[in-house]
Chain A
């Protein structure tokens, strides 16, 4: 499969303060994203996600290392013909209307005439802003700005779409719409590379994820692989109408039992004794209200990795003279 995005030992060191104290924002990042993939670039705030994206878009220069987009080195203006980019919390020319805004961005790709007009209509429809066509951007809500931002990123029908925190600041409906949009892009064979710290979205959307903590890539791979095969950690069962004797038997099976009125919540470790619990409920004429597997999530992995890095950092500090 063709590689559309590649970085090799990419590092960025910023100089901060009066004395130019070096701060490493990104350290030896090696990454490859293949055509048609939805890739989630995850990490806590300040992990170096935006720095990476800015290097890819030529807004920052790497201190060391190299990066390529569609087999061309970043910084090559021509490659941007096939790329769409949405920056984090985007600001746009607020004196333009939705339509003028998209027309301007289309003109930067030398699009014009009916072709551009049709494209604008399609995009406004796609991001649900048909009615805001003649509304100035200064009157847009945050969600609308995010959506028009995505529309501008797609104006050139790019083969690689790079989105920096596309879901941030959106309500649940807005986030769902963006998720659907990313799915639609994937269906059309586009490659989507997006950064996020909203893990739930990434878990649902991504073919692969990379996790960045303090400038270092700490995990990379398919979500299922990263979470491990035995991802189901526990099962929560809610039973209604169990008698006292049944309850006593239940306590021997479950890891934890919480009774509330006639309802009982029991947490089972693993799947082993779930069938026994169901048999018990049936025999005692009780009703099973729900059965919910509690999976280990990306969030657990994320928190674990962040803690580990922080631990390594603090040990390093203790050891350093």
Chain B
């Protein structure tokens, strides 16, 4: 086993032992509860609402895990001094960082897979149709989570957990309204315009990863658009990870 895999699996084990996946129980209860409620209310097509709620939950729980575990990936290791013994082994700093990132990735994948399975079960019980579009939406949600995790990890390499959480949540929120930033910049003076345009280009445009509306209304998303969005996500995530590795390499552990 390589050190990278060992660190990743150890991170995943930590999440399991910290009982992180308990949120799945909450998710299941929410989903089952809402479907029972909706089937009683008979508000027309229940399955659309369940689909909407299910995807929103997968996204929300994922983001919460990515942010709140991601911000502690490195800073917690430094605060608890566990990093001292790891870096004293033949493990480079970038391998350590990537290992921690992969560990959380595994957790997020398992979490999303179980939530998706839960959603599929509820949809099946409601005899609602399941299309490929649903899987495409989940794939893009996963990509968004990987990007958010990378941002959280980047913050975690140079600041405290609290500030990391604020920064990452800010990136998440602004990332979903970057189109509005561009629109807003047209109405400002030159300085304001420059700042907002700068933010528009530097921050990730997370709305690309949101195709929930298309899933609900069954509007097909072409494969080339999917590929482009995924390529954008992978590239952005890669750049953020490289930046994190660069900062982490210079970091001193006082």
Contact = CB atoms under 8 A, between A and B. Distances in A.
B14 to A, nearest CB: 6
Interface stretch (A78-86, A117-125, A282-290): A78-86
A89 B87 CA distance: 16
Nearest to B83: A59
Given A87-B81, A110-B3, A59 B92 contact: no
A302 B65 CA distance: 52
A149 B84 CA distance: 12
Interface string B81-114: 1101111111110000000000000000000000
B2 A110 contact: yes
Contacts, number: 79
A95 B18 contact: yes
A153 B80 CA distance: 18
Contacts of B2: 110
A108 B3 contact: yes
A105 B85 contact: yes
Contacts of A60: 252-254
B1 A87 contact: no
Nearest to B92: A77
A80 B89 contact: yes
Contacts of A110: 1-3
B10 A92 contact: no
Contacts of B17: 95
A262 B177 CA distance: 94
A93 B82 contact: yes
A258 B51 CA distance: 93
Nearest to B89: A108
Contacts of B6: 104, 107-108
Nearest to A16: B254
Nearest to B2: A110
Indicate the size class of the contact surface on chain B.
20 to 34
A59 B85 contact: no
Interface string A55-88: 0011111000000000000000110110101110
Nearest to A87: B84
A287 B253 CA distance: 61
B48 interface: no
A90 B80 CA distance: 9
A112 interface: yes
A58 B3 contact: no
A95 B12 CA distance: 12
Nearest to A60: B252
A159 interface: no
Nearest to A78: B90
A91 B80 contact: yes
A54 B91 contact: no
B13 interface: yes
A87 B89 CA distance: 12
A74 to B, nearest CB: 11
Contact of A83 (B13, B81, B86, B88): B88
A152 interface: yes
B106 to A, nearest CB: 15
A109 B90 contact: yes
The winner among A81, A83, A105 for most chain B CB atoms within 10 A is A105
B91 A93 contact: no
Nearest to A113: B1
A93 B14 contact: yes
B252 A59 contact: yes
A18 B3 CA distance: 38
The 4 closest A-B pairs by CB, nearest first: A107-B6, A85-B88, A95-B17, A87-B84
